[in-house]
A = this chain, B = another copy of it.
Amino acid sequence: MSVSKCTRLSGALVKELLDSVDSVLFDCDGVIWRGDQAVPGAPQVINLLKEHGKKVFFVTNNSSKTRKMYADKMSKLGFNVNEEEVFGTAYCLAMYLRTVCKLQGKVYLIGGNAMRQELEAVGIQQTGVGPDHISGSQADWANVSLDPEVKAVVVGFDEHFSYMKLNRALQYLTQQGCLFVGTNRDTRLPLEGGKAVPGTGCLLQAVETAAQHQAQTVGKPNHFMYDCVASQYGVERDRCLMVGDRLDTDILLGSNCGLKTLLTLTGVSTVADAEAHQKSGCPERQGMVPDYYVESIADLLPALQG
Contact = CB atoms under 8 A, between A and B. Distances in A.
Interface of A: 131, 133-134, 138-139, 141-143, 158-164, 166-167, 170, 174, 187-189, 191, 195-199, 201-203, 205-207, 209-210, 212
A11 to B, nearest CB: 38
Contacts of A201: 209
A143 B163 CA distance: 23
Contact of A138 (B142, B158, B189, B205): B189
Contacts of A163: 158-162, 198, 203
A65 B108 CA distance: 32
Given A142-B195, A203-B206, A206-B206, 14 more contacts: A134-B159, A138-B189, A139-B191, A159-B163, A159-B164, A161-B166, A166-B202, A167-B198, A170-B188, A170-B198, A187-B210, A199-B210, A202-B206, A205-B209
Contacts of A134: 159-160
Main secondary structure of the interface of A (DSSP, over half): mixed
B170 A196 contact: yes
What 7 A-B pairs are tightest by C-beta distance, nearest first? A142-B195, A206-B206, A198-B210, A161-B163, A202-B209, A205-B209, A202-B206
Contacts of A161: 162-163, 166
13 contacts: A133-B133, A134-B159, A141-B197, A143-B195, A160-B162, A161-B162, A162-B162, A167-B198, A170-B196, A174-B196, A202-B206, A202-B207, A205-B206
A211 to B, nearest CB: 9
Contact of A206 (B139, B160, B189, B198): B198
A76 to B, nearest CB: 17
Contacts of A189: 138
Contact of A210 (B170, B188, B212): B188
Contacts of A138: 189, 191, 197
A210 B199 CA distance: 7
Contacts of A142: 191, 195-197
Contacts of A143: 195
Contacts of A141: 159, 197
A194 to B, nearest CB: 9
